[in-house]
Amino acid sequence: MTATQTGSSNPHRTPVPEFDAIIIGAGIAGLYQLHRLRKLGFNVRAFEAGSGVGGTWYWNRYPGARFDSESYSYAYSFSQELLDEWNWKEHFAPQPETLEYLNFVADRLDLKRDIEFNARIEAATFSEADNRWEVVTESGERAVAQFLITAVGVLSAPYIPDIPGRDTFTGASWHTAHWPHEPVDFRDKRVGVIGSGATAVQLITEVAKSVGHLTVFQRTANYCIPLNNREITADEQANLHARSGDIFEQCRHSFGAFIHDFDPRSAFDVDDAEREAIYEQLYREPGFGFWLGNFHDIMTDEKANATIAEFVRRKIRERVRDPELAEKLTPRDHHFGTKRVPLESGYYEVYNQPNVTLVDLKETPIECITETGVRTSKQEYEFDVLIFATGFDAVTGALTRMDIRGEGGQLLRDKWRDGPLTYLGLQIAGFPNLFTVVGAHNAANFCNIPRCIEQNVDWVTDCIAHLRDHKLRRIAATESAEREWQQHCEEVVSGTLFPTANSWFMGANIPGKKRMFLAYGGGLPRYREKCDDVAARGYAGFALE
């Protein structure tokens, strides 16, 4: 590969810097991709929209933001040195600690010198003449490279619904992913939160501790379960360090790369009393065990699912004092686990506070946002602060919001009008030399994400190294491989209950977005096997030139 050089693809323009590879994003994926390629001697530049590293953990600074994965299962696993040096303070680390960790990694590996910050990529165009990509930032800066790797995250394109009057509110207002960098004081403030997903559940619980009055606008009640977080003791710390290899090995073989994995038994292999005891125990344990460590058929069989759904409903009734309010907070329109299960730390008890109001939008929908607040079909609510916890154009949004043009000038967002098409979730036919780490129909979208990121990045890095070693300039997914992958992804998810819910997994949270399961529903071990098999067969399904 070429060393750093400055060239120009057009003699009338200022010289455009050339790289072997350009990475978009300096979150968990972008940082690791930069490290891996640089280690192999490639000349790489990463472009990052934020002013610092961290991606999701840079942007989502709202109070209460924290891991739902066990901290020690979330860290990078590739470097024993990094593992030895870092001590997580809590079993589920809060956002500031995670951001600190990612800065620690970036500094230890000296990554920041190859990252351009405050540089949002607006467009990327493939040149068929020389098999290179040219990217352009919002401020008009350009760069070219043989390989373009998007590491733009799953939940990085914030979505604010198009509610009439949306921009007229004169108080303070943000989407949770655009939280201010300075602390926000909620004392004596009237605060409105729209949304009741995983983000809102964390945020509401924290804001309720100090707020003047909090009003929550809920469209869909969720099945929230306890996170059961606590500090890591000194003894646990030593033990976690000693066991880190085992922890990562456990994640490697579990469906979602968590330390939890489905119980091979059916919910009906045990009698009612034993099932109840198992649910009780899982409800008291930390993390996603209640969802992802439960009977395997809760995600495939409606009757099995009903047993767990009813258990959670009962817990809600036990925790919320006012029965009418409890009923509003009780999900009845989707199966347990088919929408992302929010993990909570006292969420339901918030509604026992006199200064918290729940507005059920199924009964009284929002009509508009006004200068002073929110008007529903029943009444107007006035706020000092209005927060949109309304989610993201997940998985595809960050890519389709850019002008990515492949062969023949085809725009990616046009190609994906009827839903994303990819090969392994890592490449797209018609877009040679473009790798989409954590792309659509990739196991990474339903995963303890750093575990899948490491798999994705390792695969992409090996592939690029293979191309270099064989003096190949171009790799392109074939359309037939893409079609087969699409069919496989559909088959895998069709045996589950996921397609029945209006979730972001299904693209169903964005009006007009094609309804389709956006992740790979076969789990990480199966996904890894598929990717490894493709590589072992000389990158079968790809055209190499």
**Measured from the CB atom, is 17 or 391 closer to ligand NA7?**
391
* Binding residue (CB under 6 A) for ligand NA7 from 135, 194, 437, 516: 194
Report, in Å, the least distance between residue 72 CB and ligand NA7.
19
Q: Which of 339, 412, 332 is nearest to 121 (CA)?
A: 412
Closest CA to 55 of 418, 414, 444: 444
Question: Does residue 358 touch ligand NA7 according to CB under 6 A?
Answer: no
- Per CB under 6 A, the list member of 71, 98, 156, 199 interacting with ligand NA7 is 199
Q: Work out whether 305 is an interface residue with ligand NA7 (CB under 6 A).
A: no
Contact status: 449 vs ligand NA7 (CB under 6 A): no
Alpha carbon of 545 to those of 427, 432, 471, 522, 534: distances in Å?
16, 10, 9, 31, 17
Cβ distance to ligand NA7 smaller for residue 350 or 464: 350
Contact between 166 and ligand NA7 (CB under 6 A)?
A: no
In contact, 434 and 148? CB cutoff 8 Å: yes
- DSSP state at residue 52: S
Restricted to residues 105-144, the positions that interact with ligand NA7 (CB under 6 A) are none
Q: Is 341 in the site for ligand NA7 (CB under 6 A)?
A: no
CA-to-CA distance for 221 and 196, rounded, in angstroms?
A: 7
391 and 509 Cβ atoms separated by less than 8 Å: yes
CB of 530 to ligand NA7, least distance (A): 24
Q: Which amino acid is at 110?
A: D
Least distance (Å) between residue 128 CB and ligand NA7: 38
- Sole binder of ligand NA7 in the list 220, 396, 400, 456 (CB under 6 A): 220
What would the two tokens of residue 177 be? Answer: 């992913």
Residue 523 beta carbon to ligand NA7: minimum distance, rounded to whole angstroms: 17
- Give the nearest distance from C-beta 249 to ligand NA7 in angstroms: 24
CB of 34 to ligand NA7, least distance (A): 24
Joined tokens for residue 451: 């575990």
Q: Does residue 198 interact with ligand NA7 by CB under 6 A?
A: yes
Nearest approach, Cβ of residue 74 and ligand NA7 (Å): 13
Q: Report yes or no: 515 and 507 within 8 Å, Cβ to Cβ.
A: yes
Element (DSSP H or E) covering residue 482: helix 479-494
Question: Do residues 176 and 60 make contact, with C-beta atoms less than 8 angstroms apart?
Answer: yes
Give the CB-nearest residue to ligand NA7: 197
Q: How far is the CB of 534 from ligand NA7 (least distance, A)?
A: 28
By CB under 6 A, residue 216 contacts ligand NA7: no
Choose which of 36, 315, 340, 441 interacts with ligand NA7 (CB under 6 A): 340
DSSP assigned state of 443:
G
d(CA 531, CA 518): 18
Per rule CB under 6 A, count of chain residues that contact ligand NA7: 21
C-beta of 17 vs 195, nearer to ligand NA7? 195
Single out the segment in contact with ligand NA7 by CB under 6 A; choices: 109-117, 189-197, 207-215, 527-535. Answer: 189-197
Q: 161 vs 541, which CB is nearer to ligand NA7?
A: 161
Q: Binding of ligand NA7 at residue 509 (CB under 6 A)?
A: yes
Site for ligand NA7 (CB under 6 A): which residue of 258, 311, 504, 527?
504
**Least distance between ligand NA7 and beta carbon 199 (Å):** 3
Separation CA 438–CA 459 (nearest Å): 12
The one among 38, 120, 142, 219 contacting ligand NA7 by CB under 6 A: 219
Q: Which of 267, 355, 348 is nearest to 314 (CA)?
A: 348
Minimum distance between the CB of residue 166 and ligand NA7, rounded to whole angstroms? 10
Binding of ligand NA7 by 197 (CB under 6 A): yes
Angle between helices 244-253 and 234-242 (to 10 degrees): 60
Q: What does the buried/exposed string (b/e) look like for 204-231 if buried means 16 or more CB atoms within 10 Å of the residue's CB?
A: bbbbbeebebbbbbbbbbbbbbbbbbee
Nearest to 496, CA basis, from 293, 303, 301, 269: 301
Q: Kindly state whether residue 200 participates in binding ligand NA7, applying the rule CB under 6 A.
A: yes
Q: What is the DSSP letter of 48?
A: -
Q: Quick check: 509 and 159 in contact, CB under 8 A?
A: yes
Which range of residues in 216-224, 250-258, 422-430, 482-490 is near ligand NA7 by CB under 6 A?
Answer: 216-224
Give dist(CA 98, CA 126) in Å, integer: 35
CB under 6 A: which stretch of 1-9, 178-186, 195-203, 249-257 binds ligand NA7? 195-203
Nearer to ligand NA7, 19 or 351 (CB): 351
DSSP 229-287: --BPPHHHHHHHHHTHHHHHHHHHHSTTSSS---BSS-TTSS-HHHHHHHHHHHHHSST
Instruction: Determine, following the binding rule CB under 6 A, whether residue 195 of this chain makes contact with ligand NA7.
Output: yes
Residue with tokens 């964005």: 510
- Write phi, then psi, for 543 (nearest 5 degrees): -95, 125
Q: Is residue 374 within 8 Å of residue 418, measured between CB atoms?
A: no
DSSP letters for 292-334:
HTSBGGGGT-HHHHHHHHHHHHHHHHHH-SSHHHHHHTS--SS
Per-residue contact string for residues 392-431; x = within reach of ligand NA7 by CB under 6 A: x---------------------------------------
Q: Is 361 in the site for ligand NA7 (CB under 6 A)?
A: yes
Site string for ligand NA7, 144-163 (x = CB under 6 A): -----------x-----x--
Q: Which is nearer to ligand NA7, 337 or 432 (CB)?
A: 337
Binding mask 376-395 for ligand NA7 (x = CB under 6 A): -------------xxxx---
CB of 339 to ligand NA7, least distance (A): 7
Site residues, ligand NA7 (CB under 6 A): 155, 161, 194-200, 217, 219-220, 340, 361, 366, 389-392, 504, 509
